Structure 1
């Protein structure tokens, strides 16, 4: 493909050179065309098909190679062929040439640019796929923008060439007609500027604005159509009704109340959602207890002997529940009612886009609202595994009701939840087997990152089964149950094994809660992964129904839900004035295993899949003084930058405290701070955060100015009076 691009580039270079060396650029001037007009007319009368065909092909060639002269060719066409035939010829020739120009730009430059600027072009292409035809049509209508620039820029996107062709054909027609009509009076024209008077340019601008006005009118029409279909209320009880009192719903309610909107928050179960009650808070409390047990076992390496820890599992779970109770006031009904939020306990069903029926313990009532924000969260996904109904399945929702430590635990799923909980129960004393269908743990992370976690889990006694497929749950002859799995051995032969368990924990992902809300009847669709189908502003197909958090995806993380909640709320309340699109470019994520895995932005796996060229800088924590002093040298920092530049595209940290160290990289990516500035930032010694600066130092050392340093070497040798012949002084 590179060879073909070089050949095409060479052909175009030859055509451009021939154009200028032949004097064609001097020939295509207004004065020359006026003086040669009679000769052209005589030639056309003598050979009409030859002239028309040659004119058409010449116009296509000039436009395709983006050479100057298309405007004058348009005037000549009007003078030669008249308005009707001239418009017909030039309209098709210009569109065909523009499409060829876009194709040439696409062939020559799109692939290299997509490798280098994958993230930026991905967002542009998403917008092109959604509204590219609309924007192209608007640009074609306004002659303030050079058409050849539009050809080249749109050619670099993923817009379909057929779409580019027909939109250009329609959009360029008014401007082409003006120039062709002016060409009929070619002999009377004094300059090209006389064609487009300020009044005419203003008219084109108004024409160009028409699609925007039309879109606004369509939006108004959609709202009125909805009003007719669903009987829009004249008065509203609330500005926003938020359905779901988890992290996203609480943040949405907080923001709406902060700007003095009237907001009602409906939650069927417990405020705080998964994060407080079954997710972030209890899991981190359990992980901390498990880490203490691990630290006691490892104490002899520091000269402290404490023996094997005695684990009181009931007390551990008491610690977990105590953590939930202490955090609970932050998400309590009292707090949010104090902020002005009407908190309602019950089930919410959308009767129409403006009416929410709430089933409370005391009965039913209907709230009318200008906007609805769906923040109903997600639940653990349980696969349809044969025999599963015969056992009590543990998930991240219900395992917190355990009263005794599982003796033999099988964890199905090697993602973040499976790894965190599997390691924690192993540290507390359970025999744990972890089953992952993929060929590595933490499937979204790089292989070297997952390898560090896998190695540590193996050292701590977990049996890690990779590339292993769960088949069914079976009863054991000796009593109890086992998970039957299959895998390929070293000779690629299929093996079927049984993994006995006293408890089975399923951690294979989460499923959005979309059922029972009345959304399907209103036409609100879901994506293939089950999340609600919303756009980049988090708006659904219904203009006043929005979604955020786990139910909206694509990242089912507490802080991602809070990030989305701000956008959904602000867009709902003020979207008629200004819309904000959600960006996940600098969204951090942490897996709280030991070692921790923390990442923001791209990793090597994603860069490779997207075809993005990156430069990788790596710093081993075994070089960090603080890590050496504490004996926590396992892990590394890995930063991806644009080749030859210090702009951070992503960072991954594996090691103790990785989640805390990641914040500096997240801030840097959010605010456009490069590695050079991180290197110039003073970090306290000795701290883990020095790893960030050290990584920047590794990058800087790889990009040191060798020529300048060689000059400095000679300069200092000269200052010392040494031999400056170029040899390195002894």
Structure 2
């Protein structure tokens, strides 16, 4: 411990002396120019001493992470010329970096290891796999200042010798450019000399260095990734897309629109989950269930309450008719007309450019493409409960086919899951006559929303007849005397025997709605070594391990929404086709979503609980729909708009809307956030009367009223009093 303290004291003392004697002034461009003549004389008199002293100074500056290494590099070119200056700086910078690395390791590594053992272990494992190459990229493409790289790498487990030789090699290109610039600085005699062609060329090299370095790094990475594969000399297609959900459809459409030769491969139904099992059928049944509820409560509209007469089979038939009516929008015929070749079959990656297709007629076809996009979507996750397979269940995918066989809605329906899908379907089937019990392990449904939103949603579902059991864990499924039961445990139950905590719930149908998992198996990802951990791992450009293989949609995340999959589809197409010249990072800054219970819940940006978690100094503006004329005329005046803004500013950080048409109303706030418009801009925009959209303007008006300039208004009151005489 004493040695560490002593070393730290010495380092601090050296740094203090450096600044105390204004040595930092010598390491500025002005200081360098002012000392050139004197240094030239000294070099003539004692060349070995000057070279040795310069070398030692450079090592010291680098070792102590002092400012001025760049100026010293320029000085080396000015004093010693390109070749000699390059050799001096190359070794001095690497030795100084090594000393800084060793000091960091000696002083910091053990304490950090004790404080963050798991994190450092993970970092060390990564460094062990890719440490040398990662360090090389940082040296070649200076993302961080070199002194930071020295200190941070010292905390990792990379070997000192590896650190030295990689640093020596990685800094060569930058050293050449800086030293060469220094040789031109030595020739400047006046301000006009700055514009000399040689000097301009040197600084052009400085500007191009990161781009050149990045290109070299990418080339090295590609050679490393592709080394065991033989790249085709030509390709059948520009782009192959696997999966015809929202992500795949948009990707292939964009490719066809820019005249690329693109093939879309889909084994199942065109349109993916959203059209066939998710968004479309669920919204169709939500509408039917809402009409049933309105008939039951006709008194809200000046009518008589009535018992709705309907056929459940006809309701389900309408659901399938809605799917059929929308299907042409995503059909093979439409996309063929758009210029997309559609192949019905199951695609599997054979190598980074080749897809083997098992056609639906049993034959095989193989195609190559310069780029491939995987957009295979997700499927409902079924919890591994003992007995669940024997008892039977449906998911949000299978219920539309299974329930279409029923004459009436399931009498006793258990919905497992309190997220958006479970909540939407629980309310709908309760309105259609099912006795619905919704089971959620968390302490409230829709856990990602604010507490008051969750409570509002719970009240709405309970009003529709849903029995909600939060803080209940499903344990197993059982069959007793021909009846089916799910056994649950109350997580808030007082301490007692296991038998006392468990409860058996009888059901006719069990709907699993506890989330969705990405479709990862069977597409050749494992054979190619593409990393998956619940989703495909991609970078900001949607590239996988192989820069020519992209992924989009639910298989990627981080949001499993149809509109996000479509959003990613654009980036996947553009980056796949034009990434050699320009790549675009996916923009996730403003992502809206909606849960279509009644009333709807829509959100964009952060909510209050996230603002608290992030430590944001925020304020809330709230508008209640009981004050909106259109909401009153529709007898739907329950709900609110809740806007999160920074203290004293009208910048929109997030909005939550609970109301009818919330999914539509949120669009104005999405547009405002996307383009940096504040609440004042919304307030100054004319909204038609009487419409639901006026609620957005009134919410902005609430913010304005809360931030009225009281001092100015006080003086205006006095002014008007004076004007009255």
Give the TM-score range, shorter chain.
Answer: 0.7 to 0.9
Residue 371 of structure 2 corresponds to residue 371 of structure 1: yes
Q: Is the 8 A contact 1:413 1:508 kept in 2?
A: yes
Q: Is the 8 A contact 1:91 1:176 kept in 2?
A: no
The corresponding residue for 2:485 is: 482
SS of 2:227's equivalent? helix
The corresponding residue for 2:665 is: 661
Q: Deviations over 1:111-142 (max 9, x none)?
A: xxxxxxxxxxxxxxxxxx9x99678545659x
Report how far residue 171 of structure 1 moved: 7.0
Report how far residue 288 of structure 1 moved: 0.4
The corresponding residue for 1:214 is: 216
For residues 348-497 of structure 1, the aligned pairs below 5 Å read: 348-352=347-351, 353-361=353-361, 363-401=363-401, 402=403, 403=406, 404-477=408-481, 479-489=482-492, 491=494, 495-497=501-503
Residue 239 of structure 2 corresponds to residue 240 of structure 1: yes
Q: Is the 8 A contact 2:135 2:167 kept in 1?
A: no
The corresponding residue for 2:579 is: 575
The corresponding residue for 1:727 is: none
Q: CA 1:653–1:92 in 2, change beyond 3 Å: closer, same or farther? A: farther
Distance (whole Å) between structure 2 residues aligned to residue 357 and residue 716 of structure 1: 81
Q: Is the 8 A contact 1:351 1:357 kept in 2?
A: no
RMSD of the alignment, in Å?
Answer: 4.6
Distance (whole Å) between structure 1 residues aligned to residue 59 and residue 523 of structure 2: 60
Match of 1:704 among 698, 705, 708: 708
Report how far residue 503 of structure 1 moved: 0.9
SS of 2:536's equivalent? coil
Report how far residue 209 of structure 1 moved: 4.4
Distance (whole Å) between structure 1 residues aligned to residue 187 and residue 242 of structure 2: 70
The corresponding residue for 1:251 is: 250
Report how far residue 432 of structure 1 moved: 0.5
The corresponding residue for 2:676 is: 672
Report how far residue 334 of structure 1 moved: 1.9
SS of 1:317's equivalent? helix
Match of 1:516 among 504, 513, 522: 522
Report how far residue 252 of structure 1 moved: 2.1
Q: CA 1:133–1:625 in 2, change beyond 3 Å: closer, same or farther? A: farther
The corresponding residue for 1:323 is: 322
The corresponding residue for 2:558 is: 554
Report how far residue 175 of structure 1 moved: 7.2
Distance (whole Å) between structure 2 residues aligned to residue 134 and residue 522 of structure 1: 25
Distance (whole Å) between structure 1 residues aligned to residue 91 and residue 530 of structure 2: 45
Q: CA 1:688–1:197 in 2, change beyond 3 Å: closer, same or farther? A: same
SS of 2:310's equivalent? coil
Report how far residue 178 of structure 1 moved: 9.4
The corresponding residue for 2:312 is: 313
* Stretch moving more, 635-644 or 401-410: 635-644
Residue 200 of structure 2 corresponds to residue 201 of structure 1: no
Give the TM-score taking structure 2 as reference length: 0.78
Distance (whole Å) between structure 2 residues aligned to residue 133 and residue 679 of structure 1: 52
Q: CA 1:206–1:50 in 2, change beyond 3 Å: closer, same or farther? A: closer
Distance (whole Å) between structure 1 residues aligned to residue 661 and residue 647 of structure 2: 28
Report how far residue 692 of structure 1 moved: 0.9
Q: Is the 8 A contact 1:34 1:187 kept in 2?
A: no
Distance (whole Å) between structure 1 residues aligned to residue 558 and residue 302 of structure 2: 47
Q: CA 1:459–1:233 in 2, change beyond 3 Å: closer, same or farther? A: same
Report how far residue 191 of structure 1 moved: 9.3
The corresponding residue for 1:279 is: 278
For residues 63-142 of structure 1, the aligned pairs below 5 Å read: 137=139
Q: CA 1:206–1:624 in 2, change beyond 3 Å: closer, same or farther? A: closer
The corresponding residue for 1:125 is: none
Q: CA 1:207–1:349 in 2, change beyond 3 Å: closer, same or farther? A: closer
Distance (whole Å) between structure 1 residues aligned to residue 491 and residue 528 of structure 2: 48
SS of 2:326's equivalent? helix
Report how far residue 272 of structure 1 moved: 1.7
Distance (whole Å) between structure 2 residues aligned to residue 712 and residue 256 of structure 1: 61
SS of 1:648's equivalent? coil
Distance (whole Å) between structure 2 residues aligned to residue 169 and residue 191 of structure 1: 35
Q: CA 1:243–1:618 in 2, change beyond 3 Å: closer, same or farther? A: same
* Stretch moving more, 536-545 or 566-575: 536-545
* Stretch moving more, 602-611 or 257-266: 602-611
Q: Deviations over 1:492-518 (max 9, x none)?
A: 667211111111110011122222222
Distance (whole Å) between structure 2 residues aligned to residue 40 and residue 344 of structure 1: 75
Q: Is the 8 A contact 2:74 2:182 kept in 1?
A: no
Distance (whole Å) between structure 2 residues aligned to residue 651 and residue 267 of structure 1: 37
Q: CA 1:636–1:240 in 2, change beyond 3 Å: closer, same or farther? A: same
Where structure 1 has 5 or more consecutive residues not aligned to the other structure, the ranges are 1-11, 102-128, 142-148, 722-730
The corresponding residue for 2:291 is: 292
SS of 1:346's equivalent? strand
The corresponding residue for 1:332 is: 331
Q: Deviations over 1:227-278 (max 9, x none)?
A: xx24525341x22222222222222222222222222222212212211211
Give the TM-score taking structure 1 as reference length: 0.77
Residue 687 of structure 2 corresponds to residue 683 of structure 1: yes
Residue 503 of structure 2 corresponds to residue 501 of structure 1: no
* Stretch moving more, 703-712 or 397-406: 703-712
Distance (whole Å) between structure 1 residues aligned to residue 360 and residue 93 of structure 2: 69
Q: Is the 8 A contact 1:413 1:506 kept in 2?
A: yes
* Stretch moving more, 686-695 or 492-501: 492-501
* Stretch moving more, 369-378 or 651-660: 369-378
Q: CA 1:551–1:489 in 2, change beyond 3 Å: closer, same or farther? A: closer
The corresponding residue for 1:6 is: none
Distance (whole Å) between structure 2 residues aligned to residue 705 and residue 480 of structure 1: 68
Distance (whole Å) between structure 2 residues aligned to residue 262 and residue 347 of structure 1: 20
For residues 622-633 of structure 1, the aligned pairs below 5 Å read: 622-633=626-637
Q: Is the 8 A contact 1:140 1:172 kept in 2?
A: no
Report how far residue 645 of structure 1 moved: 2.6
Report how far residue 488 of structure 1 moved: 3.5
Q: Deviations over 1:345-380 (max 9, x none)?
A: 222222222233333315222223232222222211
Number of aligned residue pairs? 659
Q: CA 1:704–1:383 in 2, change beyond 3 Å: closer, same or farther? A: same
